[in-house]
Amino acid sequence: MMNIEIYDNFLSDDQYKQIHHLMYDIIPYYPTPTTVGGGGIDSFFSGESELLFHVFKGAMSRTISLYYEVMKNIFSFSDNDDVWVIRANLIEPKGFNLRHIPYHVDMGSDEGAVDGYVAIYYLHGNTTPTVFKEGFRRKYIWPKKNRLVIFSNKLFHAHYLPFFNERRVLVFNFRENHPLNFSQTV
């Protein structure tokens, strides 16, 4: 059974304004060497969307962004050793396109998906949904300003390519523990 937790109005207004300012006006975004959508096949109506990202913290690469301190102050659960990756994703719209990226898990090994949790924080609600897949079942979660969604890393998910408005989210990966088990006080 799909266990997807949704927390609307997750941050206070001041915290939301801080993270919005950080993600829209301050941090640099970097292109990935691949496109979003898989296969490199252009849609009939548009070309592939490019994924831009900013890594705040990456355990494997030992990356710590100059802006990680701001992230820790806003999302207190991001300041612990269980964090695998914290990144901002930005996907620019490319027009009408009915595809989603390939289903995936964020953390895997040669044996498959590893235990852990994924949290997606939506900065706005003006884009396409995240889709979750379990067997033949699908569940769609629509982005909403200041919404946090938490789910098991073993749950396959994807997102539809944005039509007319960019998709800007924060993605948190936790190796073992549910993020809200950590202190929420700043």
- What is the token pair recorded at 50? 């490019």
Taking only the tens place, the pLDDT of each residue in 126-150 is: 888 899 998 899 999 999 999 999 9
What is the DSSP secondary structure assignment for residue 111, as one 8-state letter?
T
Domain ranges of the chain: 4-33+49-175
Sites in the chain below the pLDDT cut of 50: 35-47, 184-186
Question: The pTM is what?
Answer: 0.86
CATH 2.60.120.620 fits 4-33+49-175, yes or no: yes
